[in-house]
Chains A and B, each alone.
Chain A
Amino acid sequence: MNSLAKASTLSSENISVWFGQRQVLSDVNLVFPANKVTALIGPSGCGKSTFIRTLNRMHELIPGAGLAGSVYLDGEDIYGEDFDAVSVRIKIGMVFQKPNPFPTMTIRDNILSGLRLSGRKIENGDEVVETSLRRASIWNEVKDRLNDQAISLSGGQQQRLCIARSLAMNPQVLLMDEPCSALDPGSTRRIEETIQELSSSMTIVIVTHNMQQAQRVSDQTAFFLADDNTPGGVVEFGATEQIFNGPIDQRTNDYVNGHFG
């Protein structure tokens, strides 16, 4: 068994984001404690996905992107001079909304792709493959066809493969951007179970539009909102229990109870 990396605490400080001249996020301050699952909820267009992409420096890939503020990984600013985007992304993994396995690779190669792409030597490939697939609870479904093409899997399996691919890198933090939005209830449930198990070894941030999912998987929840033509921001942030059962802000109450959004 690999020695798993320790989970880390991630925090954002006054994160503001621009696309060109347009500001889309304003002063987001959130703390993601180690081994906790944090759900980001809010209506479409409020900047959740944009925010989560600032956490592993994927945001800067978009032409015209701008950013102010800091993101700290165990106290170190990932936008600081001591960090570069590549080493940030090795420590902070990401799962996207749409499953995106590498179509030219087999299931096995997809799992090992992170190691190869980041230029590491692969010593115990079989072990990494099995461990990662087990942690993403897809091992039993694919163990007999590791050399099949990854795109031969169903959508739900592809998404769990993508999770396994991130896990092979042993990230300290895992960011998930609506990982279940394209999946059926069965696959969704399995991914939720996976998230619960993973939280023992890493910090997880998940964007979701599914209120029940946020309640099932997360320890704390942040509610994002963008009023018309103003940048988005966090309205309320706290324990999931509190956000859903006793929100302080009226807008949070309306949103979690389905009155708008």
Chain B
Amino acid sequence: MSFAPRPAVQPWARVNTGRRIQILLASSIPLLATVLIIILTGLDNNIALIGVFLPLQLVAAAAVGFKAFGKRGVGDAALIVLVIFFATFVLVLLASVVFALISQGAQAMSWGFFTTNNRYVSNTTSLEYGGVGHAIIGTLLVVGLTTVVTVPLGIAMAIYLTQSQSKTKGIIRTLTQAISGLPSVVAGLFILSIAITLDWQKSGVLGSMALLPLMLPTIARVAEEALRLVPVDLRYAALALGAPNYRAFFQVILPAAKSGLVTAILLGVARIIGETAPLILTVPISNGTSWDLFSGEIMTLPAYVYNYLGSAFVPSQNRAWGAALVLMILVAILFGATRIISRSKSLKSKPTKEKASK
């Protein structure tokens, strides 16, 4: 087997044939050996992967590395094996979740599934009828209201944490982090108990209130990091030009942190859009479409999934999988759209690369 000589555009990437064969052997023998052991001994696949394949692969890679570069080659080879192994591991996990969603949810997918509600649908109604239209509307409304209220609060908090010199900062940061560990069901119960005490009816707005403490820490923390990354030089430059603090902040610091702040908002939305427990506790579900957040029943996607997944009837289970898939698609669309919008305005100005002058 011979390899056509490549022009030496990357001389450091040249590998001679002997080394190539070593690498080929080192990456195939452990796999073959593991498969053989599984077949011969009937060892559990997962145990074999961690207990047989990984050590074998590490030893094989280390041997090749040692032959090529001596001691330092061993460390490099081991690192490469570990990185590839665990990256693959995590990728497979993620891919299988997505695959499960798609394969289970696909049969529910149709245009009507996105646009119609579940009025006149029973547990056994065929998938051709009914859909998650009402739940999409409900989720967008509830999450939208939470976002509208929480984003200014979270960013204001981040501003306080980065710009103020006050000594209470540490306490506030610690409290914020503590809240981020709050179980979402507790947030729901908290709002529910307030509602019962004050004799409020359950409604979409209660759901939004229950989601707020879950979203706030994420936004505040990520936005704080984004603002912290803006070099203090820029602030000094603005102040030295005679800018009052607020103008320096709004015209210089905030624009420089924009893409990070967009990320903060996205992560905040992602944190709450799939939250189920608080909504089940505080928002009465419905099968019809409702645009009213402030009274009456309103359906959300997580509540829809929860409601149908436990059903004994196959069409209902399929609806639940379909709704979960819709939720994932919704998040993907939201993320994609926000990225495109924020990129078209601010990517050019990212303070990362310095082009040479012409």
Contact = CB atoms under 8 A, between A and B. Distances in A.
B170 to A, nearest CB: 15
Interface in B215-269: 231, 233-234, 236-244, 247-248, 251-252, 255-256, 258
A98 B241 contact: no
Interface in B336-354: 346, 348-351, 353-354
Contacts of B255: 104-105
Nearest to B247: A117
A87 B242 contact: yes
Interface stretch (A6-14, A30-38, A146-154): A146-154
B351 A61 contact: no
Contacts, number: 96
Given A63-B165, A116-B251, A154-B356, A102 B240 contact: no
A89 B231 contact: no
A211 interface: no
Interface string B270-306: 0000000000000000000000000000000000000
Given A104-B346, A149-B348, A152-B355, A96 B239 contact: no
Interface in A4-24: none
A103 B256 contact: yes
B357 interface: yes
26 contacts: A61-B236, A63-B165, A86-B244, A90-B242, A96-B233, A96-B236, A100-B233, A102-B234, A102-B237, A103-B349, A104-B252, A104-B255, A104-B256, A104-B346, A105-B255, A113-B241, A114-B241, A114-B243, A119-B244, A141-B357, A149-B349, A151-B353, A152-B355, A155-B354, A157-B357, A162-B237
Interface of A: 56, 58, 61, 63, 86-87, 89-90, 93-94, 96, 98, 100-105, 113-114, 116-119, 141, 149, 151-157, 162, 165-166, 169
Contacts of B351: 103-104, 151
A165 B233 contact: no
A156 B357 CA distance: 9
A58 B241 contact: no
Contact of B247 (A119, A141, A156): A119
Given A96-B233, A103-B234, A116-B251, A89 B256 contact: no
A94 B256 CA distance: 21
Nearest first, the 10 A-B pairs at minimum CB distance are A90-B242, A103-B351, A117-B243, A154-B357, A114-B241, A104-B255, A94-B240, A118-B242, A100-B233, A89-B242
Mostly, the B contact residues are helix
A213 to B, nearest CB: 22
Contacts of A96: 233, 236-237, 240
Interface residues of B, number: 30
A151 B354 contact: yes
Interface of B: 165, 231, 233-234, 236-244, 247-248, 251-252, 255-256, 258, 346, 348-351, 353-357
A89 B239 contact: yes
* Most-contacted residue by chain B among A96, A104, A116, A165 (CB, 10 A): A104
Given A149-B348, A155-B354, A61 B237 contact: no
A216 to B, nearest CB: 24
* Most-contacted residue by chain A among B165, B240, B244, B248 (CB, 10 A): B240
Given A100-B237, A102-B234, A104-B351, 18 more contacts: A56-B240, A86-B242, A86-B244, A89-B239, A96-B240, A100-B234, A100-B236, A101-B237, A102-B252, A103-B256, A103-B349, A113-B251, A116-B247, A117-B241, A118-B241, A151-B351, A154-B357, A165-B241
